[in-house]
Amino acid sequence: MPITLQQVRTNCTKARARMEQARNEHWAFGAFNLDDEPTLKAVARAAQKLNAPVLVEVSHGEVSDIGLENVRDLVDNIKHEFGVEIYINLDHSPSVEEAKKGIDAGYEFIHIDVSQANHDASDEEIIAATKEVVEYAKFTGALVESEPHYFGGSSNLHTEDIDYEEIKKTFSTPDGARAFVEATGIDTYAAAVGNLHGKYPVPKKLDLELLQQIRDALNCNISLHGGSGTPGHFFESAVKIGVTKININSDMRVAYRRTLEKVLTEHPDEYSVSKLVNGEVVEAVQEVVEEKLATFNSAGRAVV
């Protein structure tokens, strides 16, 4: 059943208030990528078990596979089935047009990331595109997120070590973050402080001192992309500083694939793969989500 405009606006108003509450109370929403229906079920089961509010998010590739409207319907259905507090984030939307489609579909969170499609996009192009999405989002009240430059890595299992000297060249700065937020009017700033898309052979390290400086410089929400492979104590510190949204993808995908490979090997004569996926695979992904939610201090925070 299509969601009404009034329902969309009500959801967005609640999401906006809840993000402010998360900052005041020092907890964060986990934002978990939605690859398929079993992944969504794993997130919902974890949210239900821990009574935690969550976001599920889809990037351009997942939107192409599933469809914006289908994602909206899937999430609304599971929201009612499990009785959980759950919102949708359009992650790394590569253009103004695609971001607007997410707003029209009733998504509560919109991440506009022009530099994802064009790594060489100028500051002026990124600011102009972001401002246009911020203005358009006022129709529903959706929260808009962005960053002033390309954020590295990819949502996969990497074999190379992390070159922190290179990554530091793209770290956010307090002055740069403030200037970008003032120029665009975004609701959420995606900070770069050592977080990186993907899962690597070595644990990630967050510059918490820099994160605190960025928090002191901004009045808006702060998100951390590339949360996979990060030791939990960094997240615990980040939410105390005031981060209110943390993205997780690769940790879930690795658990999904490795568990699926295991059960396929153990059950060579089972050709109903969905039975295997909806058993141990969902459980493995759910375990990852529960672990993250515990470090985000969001357990017990849901308002349904």
Mean pLDDT of 16-25: 97
Residue 300 is assigned to a structural domain of this protein:
no
User: In this predicted structure, what is the pLDDT of residue 35?
Assistant: 93
Catalytic residue set: 91
Q: What backbone torsions phi and psi does residue 226 show, to the nearest 5 degrees? A: 65, 50
CATH of the domain at 89: 3.20.20.70
Report residue 166's pLDDT band, with 50, 70 and 90 as the boundaries: confident
Residue 283 is assigned to a structural domain of this protein:
yes
Residue 181 is assigned to a structural domain of this protein:
no
User: In this predicted structure, what is the pLDDT of residue 153?
Assistant: 65
Rounded CA-CA distance 238/60 in Å is 28
Residue 143 is assigned to a structural domain of this protein:
yes
Domain extent for 103: 5-158+250-295
Mean predicted lDDT score pLDDT of the chain? 93
User: In this predicted structure, what is the pLDDT of residue 67?
Assistant: 95
Residue 139 is assigned to a structural domain of this protein:
yes
- 170, with CB counted inside 10 A (0-12, 13-18, 19+), is middle
Beta-carbon neighbour count of residue 240 at 10 Å? 13
Per-residue pLDDT reduced to its tens digit, 187-222? 999 999 988 877 787 788 899 999 999 999 999 999
Residue 211 is assigned to a structural domain of this protein:
no
Mean pLDDT of 224-230: 90
User: Looking at the predicted structure, is the pLDDT value of residue 234 above 80?
Assistant: yes
Report residue 162's pLDDT band, with 50, 70 and 90 as the boundaries: confident
Domains contained in the chain, number:
1
Mean pLDDT of 274-294: 96
Residue 81 is assigned to a structural domain of this protein:
yes
Residue 228 is assigned to a structural domain of this protein:
no
Closest CA to 289 of 59, 87, 50, 89: 50
